[in-house]
Every structure is written in C-alpha cells, then in structure tokens.
Amino acid sequence: MLAGRRIVLGITGGVAAYKAAYLARRLVEHGAQVRVVMTRSATRFVGAQTLAAITGSHPVVELFDDDDVSPHTTLARWADSIVVAPATAATLSRLATGLSDDAVSATVLASTSPVVLAPAMHTEMWEQPATQRNIATLIADGYTIVGPDVGALAGGDEGVGRLADPDEIAESVAGVLPGGELSGQRVLVTAGGTREPIDPVRFIGNRSSGKMGNAIAVASARRGAAVTLVTTAPAPRHPRVEVIAVETAREMADAVWKAAEDADIALMAAAVADFAPEHPEATKLRRAAGPPQVVLGPTPDILGGLAAMEKRPFLVGFAAETGSIEAAIDKAREKGVDLLVANDVTALGSEFGSDTNEVVIVLPDGSTEPWELMTKSEVAERLLDRIEVLRSGGDTGGAPS
C-alpha cells in the first residue's frame, strides 16, 4: 500500500520527535517517497540533517527562507498523504481552529489529502477539555487519529500520552490511502476465544490470544478492504478496521451473522466454545456450597450458519487441533467451507499466544497444503493470496491427503 506513495511527515516540538526518525525509516522501507516538514521547536529534539539522510531530501522548517516561494503548498500538492508525528497539543489546537503560523500547520491546512495525526504529550495536557474538544473537532473534520498510548513520558512520568508505535502509525498511513487489491471489498474476521459465564466471575474459555485473527484483519485492511473484526481479544487500531467487541459465542454469532450479509470474504479465526453453561448463576458461587453442577448445552454453530446462507461470503474456517489434522479435513467437508486453515496447537511455534504458526490448508476436495512455520502476519498475507487465486477460479493446488 505504501510502495511508490508520496508521504509528507510533519514533526512538531515534543520529546517524542526523536521517534519520527524511525517512522521516516519505516515509511521508506515500505517503499514510500518521504519528505519532511518540521516546526522550529522540533529541530531542538531531532536534527534536520538526520531526516535528510533518511529521506534523501532536506526538511522544510521555515515558510519564508526556502528557495521555494510557497513550500507549504508545494508539499501539500505533492503528498498522497500527510502524517504528523508527534502532534503536540499546540499543533492539534492550530489545526482544529485553522491557524497556520508554522510550516507544519500551513502544509496540513493547504492539503486535500488524507491526514493522520499521532498525538503525544503529558497526560494532563491530553486530558484537558480543550484538547479533547480539539480532537473531537479534528475527527469530525476527517482527520485520522492514532494513539496516544499509555507508557513512559518525559521527566519520568507514566500515563496516557505516549506516541503510538511508529509501525502502527505507518499502518495507519497505509490505511487512509485508497487502492489495494481488496479495495471495495468487505472482509469479516473473527478473533480470540469466547468466554461462557458460569457465574459473574467465572467462565469457560480457552487460550486463544486473537493474534491470528488480528493479523488477518490488518493484512486485509492493508490491501484496501473495509474490515469488520468481531473479537473477544485486544484489537489492532487501523482506519479500515471496525472492531465489534463480544464475549460469548452467542454474542459473536449475532454479530457475525449480521455483518456477513454485506461481506465478500469471511475468515473465522476465533476459537469459539462448543458448549456453554445452560443456566449461569446470577451471583458468585461459594466454596462452602460444594462443587456446583454445571450443565452444558451447545453454542450456536457460527460457521455452519454462515455456510447455510443463501448468499454467503467466500468462507474460510479455522481448526485448532492437537496432533492429527484428520478431524480438520472432516470439518472442512462437513461445514462446506471454501477453505479451512488447520494447525496443531501442541506443535512448537504454533501454540496459543505464539507469534508464529505452522498451518495446513484444507481445500474443498479434501486435499491439503502444508505450509512451513512463519509469522502469523506472513500466514495472513499468504492466506489472502491463496484466497484470491481460489476466488478467481484459479488452480486449487494441494496434494491428496
């Protein structure tokens, strides 16, 4: 999504400005052409020559001392997108009120391209009503806000106000740009493990982290899709990812079946409980009362419900197995999915919560494609490639199981 794109990086005067050098490097590594515009105060935290060495062009700092008679409009017209990182409280105020008295704010206000703002400041400044009003105004005006995060701040303080991770900011920049092979497509993804309540404090659940589903959601958004992520786990922030937080299988089923009506592709990566307590207790169970009798009943068959839709999306199921994947092959046939992704969660590198996965692709005819161990992000990208081949009617591949 960033290859060949023209990105203007605006840097303003906060201590987090040093991270802008890494962000510039990541944008360049993704294939973007990057030009930098800085406020005077930003040069006190990171040198202009550092940014020039990374991007190959000298940053614009002044509006009137440049060879260009109108550097801010030149940059604004050149840019496919603008990202301001860090965006200080003062910069947010300027942009929200239309004040353009420095090179960064003038460039942003002269642009019609999508703009990403990554705020960074002390907690007290972030929480001020004035700052929150400015953020609300900027969102209403169409700006994309990423962060801030909670963490270490200047002067040894801790709290909300830390600049978002540069890689996340780069993803957000990619997310606001049009185009991509999935542009115009709607992708539905599930992630995490459901929690089925026994009482208000206890539940039946599993160890799923949601990382595989998150990776698929981000990879789909990176390719231009509008993504709906139905999840029980912490979700990634991305401009093209709408997050629907759920907890139980019933809640997930309701959200998925509704979202599936408009979806082109559905990837069911969540670990959904097969059974749930039929009568959860309204109050906490007590040890003194002895072991409870928990009667389990079946949960909704989310995958089966999708498969039975008259107009269903391209359907990808997932199966977390222990040992043999024969049950996953049976599941693919039984559910009637277009593709199934199986993995052995007892295998080294494929455990719940790991950042890697070794999967086997199960095709509708029962043939299989074993993939080598790779990161979950790599699995997501390769899976989307495989889906596109199948959707276009290409070779189903695979070897008989």
Q: What is the pLDDT of residue 394?
A: 64
- Residues 171, 192: one domain? no
**326 band by pLDDT with thresholds 50, 70 and 90:** confident
User: Of 145, 176, 207, which closes a domain?
Assistant: 176
Candidates 134, 206, 214, 357; catalytic one: 206
- Residues 257, 147: one domain? no
Active site residue 134: no
Number of domains the chain is built from: 2
Residue 171 lies in a domain: yes
Q: What angle do CA 106, 148, 134 make, to 5 degrees?
A: 50
Give pLDDT tens digits for 57-71.
Answer: 999 998 886 677 888
Residue 396 lies in a domain: no
- Residues 28, 88: one domain? yes
Residue 398 lies in a domain: no
Give pLDDT tens digits for 227-257.
Answer: 999 999 999 888 889 999 999 999 999 999 9
Residue 122 lies in a domain: yes
Give pLDDT tens digits for 25-75.
Answer: 999 998 999 999 999 999 999 999 999 999 999 999 988 866 778 889 999
- Residues 152, 74: one domain? yes
CATH of the domain at 38: 3.40.50.1950
- Tell me what the mean pLDDT of segment 151-180 comes to: 84
- Residues 117, 155: one domain? yes
Which residues span the domain enclosing 240? 186-391
